[in-house]
Structure 1
């Protein structure tokens, strides 16, 4: 069994180091982040507690024309439907203005939820370790340090079994809507499925990685490295996970890929995850 001799992504105390920084943002993406920052201030004003950027852009690995802008926003109160509509419109506006990005994704929560005990080892960890502060007070100052242990694995990705039925519905809905909107059914259906392939591929790779994370004893956000770490412990599934990592970067609209995720790899991974780490604590 392969072991990670030199822990990656950990500080000398064995805690996960925060990845990303504003200084690592590639020059091509700095105007994008600045525009999003200004628009968030204009949209929420004093209701905004803090905002963060995460993903490939603050890690410095973003690709022009391929990478999306990922934001997390914390409000001083619970977000409303109008707030959610506002961030969607903001994302669409930024996406139209800057061709160097391929979409904008914004997570929107209240400060209270992000700091709640129920989210300490899920959203709290996400903010403290994977998000780069962009505006306001950094919530990481109120959160613990995190180790790559079984509790973190369970609370971050131990809910895959609950997600799979929703994934099946999303796959069917995307295909039906594409067919209804055009007579060129095949091309449009594939285009509608491509974002799902990208999203589900990434989710499965990250879930596979956190399954083995305590044994690998480290942290990485690189999809290929995640898949390779997983494959060292589950060689019979290694090629599936490496293929998912590739599709997480360069997705296709192949319906067979999505079916394999919800009928084979996903169910197997959910069962193995529950066996090794247990099931994620219930949320409201």
Structure 2
């Protein structure tokens, strides 16, 4: 792909367009979205600043029985452990109630952190470009517009080297249980594909959330690693509980990608634990 040709996902000024909308939520997933909205109001009440959908459901690409429900919640103050327990319980209840979804993942932050200078090109970008407003005032109104440049690449995924030891610990804790390994394969596959894509994003000059398109864009610039990322993109959609796959991620693809990312874009600014 020529670097001078406009890529998908950008507006005429070259900014990343916000993806997803409530209008794109497939009919099969609307009841679970409605119950999630009501559940968040019940759990947090006036402490809730805003809530968002992200992922395949608001993009309209979700698959019944295969896709998970992804939520981001902004509270008016810092979340507590009790708050995290509450959203996990809500997610478990939704997952049990609705066979249309395969799990629920909820990100929980304070409004102040999402709008902080430190998070402008990470969580702030995530809210402004990848999240669809579900409840409350949209924080995107307080955030800048974003281009697919090296600063965005560094601050979104320039911390892979820090994550790999944690991934190894999670793999070890899962043992040989396919039930425990399968969600790790899905999560780590998706994370590596997205990291591979943002590595080349400034050269590709665009944005996509499609794992296959991400892997293809990466392969244009790193053909020697293209097949690994293509396979990871497949596993991101159709995960299996394969421990060998996970070990290949933390022993080979992950370390290489972390080193190349640091060489090309630098390392993400430190964050609080």
TM-score, length-normalised on structure 1? 0.94
Deviation sequence 1:11-54 (CA, Å, 0-9, x none)? 11100000000000000000010000001011111000000000
The runs of at least 4 aligned residues of structure 1 exceeding 3 Å deviation read 1-4
**Matched residue pairs, number?**
272
How far apart, in 2, do the equivalents of 1:80 and 1:205 lie? 31
Q: What are structure 2's unaligned runs of at least 5 residues?
A: none
**Partner secondary structure for residue 8 of structure 1:** coil
Per the TM alignment, residue 4 of structure 1 is displaced from its structure 2 partner at its CA by 6.6
Deviation sequence 1:103-147 (CA, Å, 0-9, x none)? 110000000000000000000000000000000000000000000
Matches within 5 A, 1:1-284: 3=3, 5-175=5-175, 189-284=177-272
Deviation sequence 1:236-255 (CA, Å, 0-9, x none)? 00000000000000001111
Change (3 A) 1:173 1:275: same
**Cα pair 1:17 1:129 within 8 Å, conserved:** yes
Per the TM alignment, residue 6 of structure 1 is displaced from its structure 2 partner at its CA by 2.9
How far apart, in 1, do the equivalents of 2:22 and 2:247 lie? 38
Per the TM alignment, residue 3 of structure 1 is displaced from its structure 2 partner at its CA by 3.6
**Partner secondary structure for residue 100 of structure 2:** coil
Aligned partner of 1:183 in structure 2 is none
**Partner secondary structure for residue 15 of structure 1:** coil
How far apart, in 1, do the equivalents of 2:11 and 2:29 lie? 28
